[in-house]
Structure 1
Amino acid sequence: MITKLNSIKVGDISVEGSLTMDGNKQLFKDALFFDLEHYIYKKPICIGVFGCCFYDEITNEIKVTQYMAENKKDAIEILSLAKNYFEEMKTKYNKKYIVTFSGNNDFTVINYLLKAYKIDFVLEGYFGEIDLQKCFEKAEGTCIGLKALEKIFEIDRESEVISGSNLAKTFSKIVKDNDYINRMPPEKKEKILLYNQQDVVSLFYIYVDWYNRVGLKMEEDETQSDCDEAQQ
């Protein structure tokens, strides 16, 4: 198992520009920003990389946690680590929301695997859920991908874009061949982790810059209904 913890310094944040949900202009302080890299073949097979971050107001940093599977056993262990992480975030850090981009796919995968391996935890509904893809579609009337949305928000990626099919092929090899990870160049592992980290960090920056970039500034009551109002 590869475990990576990272802290990223944040610049000035405009609370007025941040997406408002449940009447809360500073909801980003109570939220997690979440993304999975996974492998599906007819049904969910494994989580290859678990990635999640939150904003630490005291240090003015984004705290990123990642777990990457190195074999089939790790792919199962990630589920227990994910459960522990989410429970700690809720009980110790009082996080109430989870922000995703097209999060239904990730929720479906992780909930299916948690049930398949008899781990007593269901992510969907554990936090209030905010899907930025749905919020953008309601605001602008068009569907968009994360990389295209990053361009609107002028977010420059440190990582190269990796296709979902290439990631799936890599994780397929990892779960089928316990020695594959040892033959994988170190830079490829770092590339995958950086790609996932960029995804979750981008969600944070999009969230806090929302009203400065999205053409239609929705009123608070419209935001709550149109973005599938976040419920605890």
Structure 2
Amino acid sequence: MIKRENRIKVKELCEDFALDINGKKDLFKEALFFDLEHYLYKKPICIGVFGCCYYDSNSEELIVTQYMIEGKKDAIPILNLAKEYFIEMHEKYNKKYIVTFSGNNDYGVIDYLFDKNKIGFNIDDCYEKIDLQREYEKLIGENIGLKNLEKKFDIQRESELISGSNLSKTFCKVMKDFDYMNRMPEEKKQRILLYNEQDVASLFQIYVNWSKFLNKDEEVVNIDK
């Protein structure tokens, strides 16, 4: 299994622009920003990449943690690592919220796999869920995808876009061929990890810049331009 931790410097942060949840704009300090890459065929088969980050106010950085499957033997260990991560973040770092984009799919996958493999953990016991897609829909009145929302927030990806179907095919091969990851070019592995890292980092950037770029009339608001 590939285990990766990275730190991303947060250049500017103005709490006034952050998403307001029940009159509070500082919940991002107690939040995890979560995204999965996974493989399912009728039912969830495995987590391909577990990605999560949180904001460290002391260093003014995002701390990104990722686990990437390298073979069928990693399917259960990656679930155990995810459980340990969620528990540590809650108990040691006092995290109380999980922020996703259209997170029902990811929750459905990880909850199913936790239950199937008898891994005793329920996310709802420790965290309240915040879904940025739902928040956008409540504000604007229509649905949107993450990449289109990134455009509204002027987020420039370092990673190239990878379709969900291509990722699913990759992890299908990983599960069926024990040597597949050894034959995969290192560049492709890093491209997948960077893509997932960009997803969780984007969630943070959208959350803390919410009212800087959005209002109820869906007009792009950019104070700096």
Residue number in structure 2 paired with 1:168: 168
Whether the 8 Å contact between 1:155 and 1:202 is mirrored in structure 2 is yes
Residue number in structure 1 paired with 2:30: 30
Residue number in structure 2 paired with 1:17: 17
Render the CA deviation track for 1:196-217: whole Å, top value 9, x for unaligned. Answer: 0000000000000001111218
**Deviation at 1:10?**
0.5
**Deviation at 1:24?**
1.9
Structure 2 counterparts to residues 43-192 of structure 1, below 5 A: 43-192=43-192
Partner amino acid for 2:214?
Answer: V
Whether the 8 Å contact between 1:4 and 1:65 is mirrored in structure 2 is yes
Whether the 8 Å contact between 1:107 and 1:124 is mirrored in structure 2 is no
Residue number in structure 2 paired with 1:228: none
Render the CA deviation track for 1:20-76: whole Å, top value 9, x for unaligned. Answer: 113321111110000000001000000000000000000000000000000011121
Question: Within 2, Cα distance between the matches of 1:23 and 1:90?
Answer: 22
Render the CA deviation track for 1:152-193: whole Å, top value 9, x for unaligned. Answer: 000000000000100000000001111000010100000000
Residue number in structure 2 paired with 1:39: 39
Question: Within 2, Cα distance between the matches of 1:165 and 1:79?
Answer: 22
Deviates more, 1:2-11 or 1:208-217: 208-217
SS class of match (2:23)? coil
Partner amino acid for 1:183?
Answer: R
Partner amino acid for 2:126?
Answer: Y
Question: Within 2, Cα distance between the matches of 1:119 and 1:106?
Answer: 17
SS class of match (1:51)? strand
Question: Within 2, Cα distance between the matches of 1:146 and 1:138?
Answer: 16
Partner amino acid for 1:204?
Answer: F
Q: CA RMSD in A?
A: 1.0
Partner amino acid for 2:106?
Answer: D
- In structure 1, runs of 5+ residues without a counterpart are 218-232
SS class of match (1:151)? helix
Partner amino acid for 1:208?
Answer: V
Residue number in structure 2 paired with 1:2: 2
Large movers: runs of 4+ above 6 Å? none
Question: Within 1, Cα distance between the matches of 2:138 and 2:71?
Answer: 40
Whether the 8 Å contact between 1:46 and 1:113 is mirrored in structure 2 is yes
Residue number in structure 2 paired with 1:225: none
**Deviation at 1:91?**
0.3
Question: Within 1, Cα distance between the matches of 2:93 and 2:124?
Answer: 19
Question: Within 1, Cα distance between the matches of 2:42 and 2:124?
Answer: 21
Render the CA deviation track for 1:116-154: whole Å, top value 9, x for unaligned. Answer: 111001224531100000000111111000000000000
TM-score (normalizing by structure 2): 0.95
How many residue pairs were aligned?
217
**Deviation at 1:12?**
1.7
Structure 2 counterparts to residues 199-214 of structure 1, below 5 A: 199-214=199-214
SS class of match (2:123)? coil
Residue number in structure 1 paired with 2:220: none
Partner amino acid for 1:53?
Answer: C
Q: Aligned residues: percent identity?
A: 62
